[in-house]
């Protein structure tokens, strides 16, 4: 006797397959939007590549879990662009691998300038944009003047020695306190801060042979304090010239022509490779 064919039950949950694929694509879409909104282009590229790889391997959540921590702002938190003078807190090697390349120079300067650092004449610190050497006014300039004090030459020689060993571009940034200045030479703190940066650039060029094409100057007046201007101690800390040895991250805000000149200098020196910025 022929058995009756049992009809197959219709699968009413097949829509879940299409729904899951849709949710996966929607998740990837919002991740890409998130990455595109960030100022850290390296992180955006990393997210994009991870999404592509994860979609191919069907492992979206696993692949993206470790890279959605956000970019780092000038205080080491949040999603802000790293910008402006003075730098920020030290960050991990994983977050900014380019900073690691300058740590040898940081250790060299910390050792060579040990006495000056302890005396409060110099501050050496690593920041996201590079190595910052802050020269306090009292040890390098007379009040309201842009001429370097002769007793500071020995300190600058040690700093120049570290700079000569690196191909990185240099930013010289002048800062003042908030007290207004108006004398025969300078009409404002803007002029004073810029003039001190220029004086530092000319000294490093003329006395130690550092190419002027590697250096850029900036004057910030009292707009980037590192201490409270309401106290004499704070104002003394704010009166400074920062020598910033830029890394790759610090180069982001610099004109393209600067990096192009560095590469052209390297080729004219007999090498076909552009100097690798540390």
Per-domain boundaries in the chain: 15-64, 97-268
DSSP state of 9: P
State pLDDT tens for residues 21-80: 778 888 888 777 776 665 555 565 666 666 566 555 555 444 444 444 444 443 443 443
The CA distance from 44 to 38, in Å, is 7
Q: Which tokens belong to 104? A: 């040898």
- pLDDT at 192 (0 to 100): 95
- pLDDT at 78 (0 to 100): 40
Q: Which CATH class is domain 97-268?
A: alpha beta
- pLDDT at 69 (0 to 100): 42
The CA distance from 132 to 109, in Å, is 11
Q: Kindly write down the DSSP assignment for every residue of 133-158, as one continuous string.
A: EEEEHHHHB-TT--SBPGGGHHHHHH
Q: What angle do CA 256, 48, 27 make, to 5 degrees?
A: 140
- pLDDT at 198 (0 to 100): 96
To 10 degrees, the CA torsion angle through 244, 250, 252, 258?
Answer: 30
Q: Are residues 233 and 226 in contact, defined by beta-carbon separation less than 8 angstroms?
A: no
> CA nearest 133: which of 167, 109, 104, 164?
109
pLDDT < 70 regions, the chain = 1-15, 35-100, 256-278
Strand partners, 245: 131, 170
């Amino acid at each position: 006797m022929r058995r009756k064919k049992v009809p197959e039950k219709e699968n009413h949950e097949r829509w879940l397959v299409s729904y899951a694929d849709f949710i996966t694509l929607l998740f990837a879409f919002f991740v890409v939007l998130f990455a595109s909104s960030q100022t850290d282009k390296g992180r955006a590229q990393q997210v994009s590549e991870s999404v592509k790889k994860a979609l191919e391997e069907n492992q979206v959540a696993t692949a993206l879990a470790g890279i959605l921590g956000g970019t780092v702002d000038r205080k080491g938190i949040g999603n802000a662009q790293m910008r402006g003078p003075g730098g920020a807190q030290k960050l991990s090697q994983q977050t900014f691998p380019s900073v690691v390349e300058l740590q040898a120079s940081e250790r060299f300067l910390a050792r060579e300038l040990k006495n000056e650092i302890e005396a409060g004449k110099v501050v050496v610190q690593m920041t996201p944009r590079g190595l910052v050497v802050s020269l306090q006014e009292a040890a390098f300039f007379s009040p309201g003047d842009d001429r370097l004090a002769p007793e500071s030459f020995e300190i600058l020689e040690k700093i120049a020695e570290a700079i000569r060993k690196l191909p990185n571009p240099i930013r010289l940034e002048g800062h003042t306190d908030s007290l207004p200045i108006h004398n025969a030479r300078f009409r404002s703190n803007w002029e004073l801060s810029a003039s001190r940066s220029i004086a530092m650039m000319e000294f490093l060029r003329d006395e130690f042979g550092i190419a002027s094409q590697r250096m850029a100057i900036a004057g910030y007046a009292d707009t980037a304090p590192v201490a409270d201007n309401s106290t004499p101690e704070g104002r003394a800390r704010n009166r400074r010239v920062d020598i910033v040895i830029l890394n790759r991250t610090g180069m982001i805000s610099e004109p393209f022509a600067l990096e192009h000149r560095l590469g052209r200098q390297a080729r004219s020196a007999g090498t076909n490779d552009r100097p690798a910025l540390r």
